[in-house]
Amino acid sequence: MGFINKIRNEIRVIRERDPAIHSNMEVFLYPSFKVMLSYRLAHKLYKNGHYFWARWISQRAARKTGIEIHPGAQIGENLFIDHGNGVIIGETTIIGNNVTLYQGVTLGGTGKEHGKRHPTIGDNVMISAGAKVLGSFTIGENSKIGAGSVVLEAVPPNCTVVGVPGRIVKRNNEKLVREDMNQVDLPDPVSEDIKSLQHADSEITNRLLELEQELSQLRKEMAK
């Protein structure tokens, strides 16, 4: 695909997925449009071994758009980044076709290991605002990641994932009937720990009172 055709394709993708865009000229102001043009150039330089210039272009685009895409990432066609501020895509990330990312999404690693350390995102995946996908595993095609989720392991195709850590709540359009999948009454681990400590403290206090009473009774008996 030539440069002009790439621009036309980016305009088409953004207009199809963002109802707030009313004209082709508005697309040229769109952060996703700007960052993807910069990424395509930076990625080409990266593949040819011009690492400094590739990073220079990508960092310049990050400062202007708030979207940081490492030039080493492999991105398919029709990626759409809605709003985009805070989006981070790591070096060894692989993204398929027709993927949608929202603001604050991180496709990152979990440490300083070398090699493939970022996720692979299948075709037609949607990752909602603030979600974090961390590690070298695959998000299957047609899957959805809920807002604010933290995904730390592979997700099969056609799944919906929510929560921290991310759990599959729907697969192949069918809900998974499990009590721990309730996304309304989510557990509060800090509150539960506090309640557990309060319960333990109450038991210890009651036991101490019982021992004091037994000791007092024993002293009275010895005094007779």
Same domain membership, residue 205 and residue 168: no
Phi/psi at 56 (5° precision): -60, -45
Which residue segment(s) compose the domain that 168 sits in?
3-181
How confident is the model at residue 1, as a pLDDT? 59
The helix or strand, by DSSP H or E, that contains position 1, with its residue range, turns out to be none
- Which residues lie below 8 Å from residue 83, measured CB to CB, with a gap of 6+? 31, 102, 103
According to the model, what pLDDT value does residue 109 have? 87
Q: Which of 1, 106, 96 is nearest to 44 (CA)?
A: 1
* Bond preceding residue 165 cis, omega within 30 of 0: yes
Cβ atoms of 42 and 58 within 8 Å: the answer is yes
**pLDDT confidence bin for 15, thresholds 50/70/90:** confident
Considering the domain architecture, whether residues 135 and 217 belong to the same structural domain is answered as no
Q: Is the pLDDT of residue 190 over 70?
A: no
> Average pLDDT of the chain?
84
Q: What's residue 216's pLDDT?
A: 84
Claim to verify: residue 213 and residue 105 sit in the same structural domain: no
CA atoms of 52 and 54, how far apart (whole Å): 5
Judge if 147 and 207 occupy the same domain.
no
> In this structure, what token pair is assigned to residue 25?
């000229």
Same-domain pairing of 126 and 219: no
The pLDDT of 119-132, averaged and rounded, is: 92
Same domain, residue pair 216 and 145: no
Per-residue model confidence (pLDDT) at position 183: 42
d(CA 223, CA 23): 98
For the ranges 14-23, 104-113, 149-158, 207-216, the lowest mean pLDDT is seen at 14-23
pTM, full prediction:
0.70
**Residue 36 sits in the same domain as residue 145:** yes
Per cent of the chain over pLDDT 70 is: 90
| 3-class DSSP string for 22-77 | CCHHHHCCCHHHHHHHHHHHHHHHHHCCCHHHHHHHHHHHHHHHCCEECCCCEECC
For the segment 127-151, what is each residue's pLDDT rounded down to a tens digit? Answer: 989 999 999 999 999 999 988 899 9
> What's the CATH number where 116 sits?
2.160.10.10
pLDDT tens track for 151-188: 999 999 999 888 888 888 878 777 664 444 444 444 45
Report the candidate in 81, 109, 107, 78 with the shortest Cα–Cα distance to residue 94.
107
Neighbours of 202 (CB within 10 A): 10
Say whether both 195 and 92 belong to one domain: no
Mean pLDDT of 36-54: 93
Residues 191 and 175 in one domain: no
Same domain as 204, residue 144: no
147 membership: H or E segment, kind and range: none
Indicate if 128 and 216 belong to the same structural domain.
Answer: no
Count of structural domains within the chain:
2
Task: Judge contact between 124 and 142, C-beta under 8 A.
Answer: yes
Same domain (yes/no): 54, 89: yes
CA angle 63, 34, 117 (to 5 degrees): 65
